[in-house]
């Protein structure tokens, strides 16, 4: 899979942001490829960053009151997940690739670094929490 990170500049939340912000976000991301069925993160795990879907599908599952997992959402190209990162709380969902996927990972530490240099960027990340 040869996914081009620039795909996300024209899809979803990131496409609505200023060019400089888009460049800074993409420049801080790490490309991750995963096979179908791979856990991306666990429910209750540390919220250590956000993921943008370049290719494939990612399923988000929640825990029902009886403790069973149920599929809540499937996101594709342009979808961002891992928003618990901004709440500084454990992850509320389990994320798993539903097909072969290419993801961009932007770590929480990198988010803090780019926002320290450009505090207005927090506003752009806030918009992400309300976009998906």
Per-residue pLDDT tens for 101-121?
A: 999 999 999 999 999 999 999
Q: At what angle do helices 108-117 and 121-129 cross, to 10 degrees?
A: 140
Average the pLDDT over 75-102 and give the result: 92
In the chain, the percentage of residues whose pLDDT exceeds 70 is 98
Q: What is the pLDDT of residue 1?
A: 60
Q: Whole-angstrom Cα distance, residue 27 to residue 95?
A: 24
pLDDT (tens digit, 9 = 90+) per residue, 52-71? 999 999 999 998 888 888 99
């Amino acid at each position: 899979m040869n996914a081009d990170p620039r795909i996300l500049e024209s899809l979803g939340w990131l496409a609505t942001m200023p060019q400089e912000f888009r460049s800074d976000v993409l420049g801080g991301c790490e490309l991750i490829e995963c096979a179908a069925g791979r856990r991306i993160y666990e429910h209750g795990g540390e919220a250590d960053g956000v993921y943008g879907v370049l290719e494939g599908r990612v399923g988000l599952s929640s825990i029902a009151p009886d403790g069973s997992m149920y599929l809540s959402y499937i996101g594709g190209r342009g979808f961002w997940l891992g928003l618990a990162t901004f709440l500084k709380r454990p992850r509320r969902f389990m994320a798993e690739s539903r097909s072969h996927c290419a993801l961009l990972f932007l770590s929480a530490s990198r988010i803090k670094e780019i926002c320290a240099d450009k505090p207005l960027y927090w506003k752009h990340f806030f918009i992400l929490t309300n976009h998906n």
